[in-house]
A and B are shown apart, each in its own frame.
Chain A
Amino acid sequence: MTGATFAAIGAGLAVIGAGLGIGRIGGSAMEAIARQPEATNKIQLAMIIAAALIEGAALFAIVVAMITK
């Protein structure tokens, strides 16, 4: 198992975390939209922002994986 393998595994784990997080956001957003369809635009906006921030955190891990190769 070389360093590159560990880096790849680490990147994969980071993506699992991001996937779970964004999945939860999407789920809550859907529920909120179902409860109150008039607020769809606001909820969508907040969902996209939160998703981008979580993706930022996941990309941290990917960058570290790329650096350590």
Chain B
Amino acid sequence: MKKIKWYGIFLLIALIASVKPLTGQEENSPAKKEGGTAASKGEEFIPGDFIIEHVSDSHEWHLFTKKDGEQVAIYLPVILYSKEKGLLFFSSKKLAEGKIFKGFKVIGEGDLKGKIATVADDGTVNEKNLPLDFSITKAIVGMLAAVIIGLVVFISMARSYKKTGISAPKGMQGLLEPVILFVRDDIAAENIGRHKYEKYMPYLLTVFFFILINNLMGLIPFPPPFGASVTGNVNVTFVLALCTFLIVQFSGNRAYWKHVFATPGVPFWLLPIMIIVEIIGLFSKPFALMIRLFANITAGHIIVLSLVCLIFIFKSIAVAPVSMVFVIFMDCIELLVAFLQAYIFTLLSSLFIGMAMPEEHH
């Protein structure tokens, strides 16, 4: 029995790893959209663009490219708010491949590449006032899928606790209860203090499982709600770091603010510099949280995609087994990184919260 289990797990990992080159193969001959690269149909494969396209957010979910170059994608809704035209809601198919729709167009080149801008009648793109873009993009769909998965798992777990009361956990409870207790005992209680940690448990648990589920979903390339790199999107990690920042500031007590503005033990002539340094430290810690999570996850995706691109750079099927072995190895490391980054984000958040409520020393 044990042998079969191990073979099954290995087979599953190999299957997932092999889908990556497949979903890439059809893209090898893409008709590049909206003036992106000058790739002629089917001849050039530019790994840089391929990788950047896969790790960044987009308005449509590209599934594969048919043999005649036609793209098959799920076209996600575009929601725009512009001052002249008000709120607009339409499918991104109308903007695919550089088309102009109702005076809107996706910018093809330059710094603002990929953003939607208004186009005057004579064709000039107005790059100054971009409309507010509230579209449902790939990352948002992935995030919503992760949220739904999380809600389903945890609400059903809570219900089964209510039904059976205090007893030996079974099923999903058995898997998640040790993790939750780990977050409670080793992360929260240790860093925030045995008496004050309960208020912050909901936030810490949410952050931990949100990051974990999104990291894991980013590793699975196929089918659609998986494979959107949510935590690899700097906007998402920015909001998470912002939440931590706000919670830390709002739970600061007097001793904390005294430490920031009037650090004890510092001679008075050094105080102005110390205040600046402390305020910078106030902002740099959540900033580091944001960059750490974003860079770790995106770097992992880029490495795996690069290894898959090796097959297409060498244009030979013989590279495939070597590349697949590397991809499987990197995927295992990425699995470790997924758990580790969720743990580190939660640990550092609880550490900052604990530091915001220092004990008075007098």
Question: What is the interface of chain A, defined by CB distance below 8 A to chain B?
Answer: 48-49, 52-53, 55-56, 59-60, 62-63
Q: Which residue of B lies closest to A60 (CB)?
A: B291
Inter-chain contact B295/A52, CB cutoff 8 Å: no
Residue B299, interface by CB 8 Å: yes
Binding site secondary structure of chain B: helix
Give Cα A59–Cα B301 distance, bound, in whole angstroms: 14
Given contacts A49-B347, A56-B288, A56-B291, contact A62 B340 (CB under 8 A): no
Q: Measured between C-beta atoms, what is the minimum distance from A23 to chain B in Å?
A: 17
Inter-chain contact A56/B295, CB cutoff 8 Å: yes
Inter-chain contact A59/B291, CB cutoff 8 Å: yes
Inter-chain contact A52/B291, CB cutoff 8 Å: no
Q: Which residue of B lies closest to A59 (CB)?
A: B295
Binding site secondary structure of chain A: helix
Taking a contact as CB atoms closer than 8 A, the residue among A48, A49, A60 that contacts B295 in the complex is: A60
Inter-chain contact B291/A48, CB cutoff 8 Å: no
Listed residue (A55, A60, A62) with the most chain B CB atoms within 10 angstroms of its CB: A55
Q: Measured between C-beta atoms, what is the minimum distance from A41 to chain B in Å?
A: 12
Q: Which residue of A lies closest to B347 (CB)?
A: A49
Taking a contact as CB atoms closer than 8 A, the residue among B299, B340, B344 that contacts A59 in the complex is: B299
Inter-chain contact A59/B347, CB cutoff 8 Å: no
Q: By the criterion of a CB under 8 Å from any partner CB, how many residues of chain B are at the interface?
A: 11
B340 — which chain A residues lie within 8 A by C-beta? 48, 52
Give Cα A55–Cα B295 distance, bound, in whole angstroms: 10
Q: Measured between C-beta atoms, what is the minimum distance from A60 to chain B in Å?
A: 6
Give Cα A60–Cα B296 distance, bound, in whole angstroms: 10
14 example contacts (A-B, Cβ-Cβ < 8 A) are as follows A48-B340, A49-B347, A52-B292, A52-B340, A52-B341, A55-B292, A56-B344, A59-B292, A59-B295, A60-B288, A60-B291, A60-B292, A62-B299, A63-B294
A63 — which chain B residues lie within 8 A by C-beta? 291, 294-295
A52 — which chain B residues lie within 8 A by C-beta? 292, 296, 340-341, 344
Give Cα A63–Cα B295 distance, bound, in whole angstroms: 7
Q: Which residue of B lies closest to A61 (CB)?
A: B295
Task: Report B219-277 residues with CB < 8 Å from chain A CB.
Answer: none
Give Cα A55–Cα B340 distance, bound, in whole angstroms: 12
Give Cα A60–Cα B299 distance, bound, in whole angstroms: 11
Give Cα A55–Cα B341 distance, bound, in whole angstroms: 11
Q: Which 6 A-B pairs have the closest CB atoms?
A: A59-B295, A56-B292, A63-B295, A52-B344, A52-B340, A60-B291
B288 — which chain A residues lie within 8 A by C-beta? 56, 60
A55 — which chain B residues lie within 8 A by C-beta? 292, 296
Give Cα A56–Cα B293 distance, bound, in whole angstroms: 8
